[in-house]
Each structure stands twice: as C-alpha cells, then as structure tokens.
Amino acid sequence: MRVENSSQASSNSNRQFNPFSLAGKLALITGGGTGLGLGMAQAVIDAGGKVILTGRREEVLREAVAQLGEKEAYMVHDITDLASIPALAQAVNDRFGKLDILINNAGIHHKQDAVETSDTDFEKVLLTHVHGAFAMTREFAPSMIKRKEGSIIFISSMSAIMGMPKVIAYSAAKTAVSGMVRALASEFSPHGVRVNAIVPGWIESEMSNKALNSDPERKRKVMSRTPLGHMGKPADIGHAAVFLASPAAQFITGAELRVDGGAGIGF
C-alpha cells in the first residue's frame, strides 16, 4: 500500500497542473478556415480545447473541420453583416454553451497606392477588421463578464507599428485594433476578462504569399529586415494564441505580443 502525506499530494498535484492547457475550453475563431485561423484552431485543439470556426465559404470551413477532427464545428457567417452578429452569438450559446475564448482573426487585404484607394475600398477593410471584430466582441463579452472569466484575442499587424506603403486601409484598421485592445482591456479586465493582441510578422499564408510574390522587391525588403531570416508559420501564431488564452497568461492583458522573427526591431 502506498501512503502519501499532504505535502506529497500537493506536490504531485502541482506537477500535474499544466498552465498551458485549454482542456474544457471552447474557442470561436473568425476566418478560421485557412491560414492563421486554421493554424490557431489546430493549436487550440492540440492544447485540449475545442473550436468553432466561422467564415463566409462553407466548403473551406467543411474541409478545415475535416482536417481538424470530427468533434470540431463550423458556422457559416459573414463578419461584415453586422446585423447578424447578435443572432450568431445566441446560436453559439444555444448550441455549444459558454464561449471561453474569442479570436478576432477574420481579415481582408487591399494593396494600392493611397491616392488611388477609394472610399469603398477603405471602408471594406475597416468593416471587417474594426467594425466586425468590435461587434463580435460586444456580443460575446457580456457572458464572459458575467462569469468573470474569458480571453479575447485580436490579430494586429506589423503595419500598426511601422509605416508601410500601399496598405493605407489595412494600416488604419490594424492601428485601430491596437487602440481597441487597450480600451477594452481597461474596461473588461476588472471583470476577469483579458483582452490581448498578437502582432504577426510575415507569416506564410495565402494572403501574404499573394502579396509578396507579386512584388519581389517588397519580399526582399521583408526578408532583409527580419533578423531570423525567414517567414513564420501559422503554427507560430497558434502557439502564441494558446499562451495568451491559457492560465499561463493569467496576469497578461492589454498586451500586443509580437511574433515576427524580430522584424519589429530589425534594421
């Protein structure tokens, strides 16, 4: 017979606790069917959590869920349809129960000289990154605040911390995201809800590959100012998301975590 005293039992319990675990947690990831969203979804699952993916293209979402596992779920939704977001939040609550983690990842890109960027093009980018992300947060935050727990993660960009040509709408949107993170963190954190952002550097994705491969000089510049000398992977962003959503980051809120290979400090 094995007998443990109280100090031994406490020590064993501490060793068993994994501060990076998301076991029993449910995350919703907008734009989760491809690229960074899919990378974050896989990381959440690997950490023991469950995910709901949203996006406009059902076939893409269906393929993503098939890749992630049959226990995961998707809901077709266009984040720019602001009026439909309250119904989405209600549907998630009715079908899946409480949401623990919201990751505002959905995004679009528009590359064009500033003087040629139309009001419509500018508004489309802000509608997705700013208005849509805020509306999602506004609808899901109340239940988190009521329970006094939850993690909300925004995806920012290097364009929010450095000037870049030809992406005026994207830069404006991501700079607004940085401001929202600080304001929401100051408002929600006293209620136990943490709000943070991930600032990806240049990560391999369909969107970034399209942007860089069409502009060799821009790609050369990106590589030259990234000290690690290569682009990141979606999994790198996924691991950062798991960290920020996990108990390991329980004292972190209002932060912008750069995952950029050093680009933010590169010469």
* Cα–Cα distance for residue pair 43/47, rounded to 1 Å: 6
Residue 47: which of 255, 253, 248 has the closest Cα? 248
Residues with active-site annotation? 170
Q: CB–CB of 171/179 below 8 Å?
A: no
Chain Cα centroid distance, residue 256:
11
Q: CB–CB of 234/205 below 8 Å?
A: yes
Residue 228: which of 190, 260, 261 has the closest Cα? 261
Q: Other C-beta atoms within 10 Å of 88: how many?
A: 23
Residue 102: which of 57, 54, 56 has the closest Cα? 54
Please, what's the b/e burial string for 216-233 (b: 16 or more CB within 10 A of its CB; e: otherwise)? eebbeebbebbeeeebbe
Strands in 150-155's sheet, in edge-to-edge order, are: 73-76, 50-55, 26-30, 101-104, 150-155, 193-200, 256-259
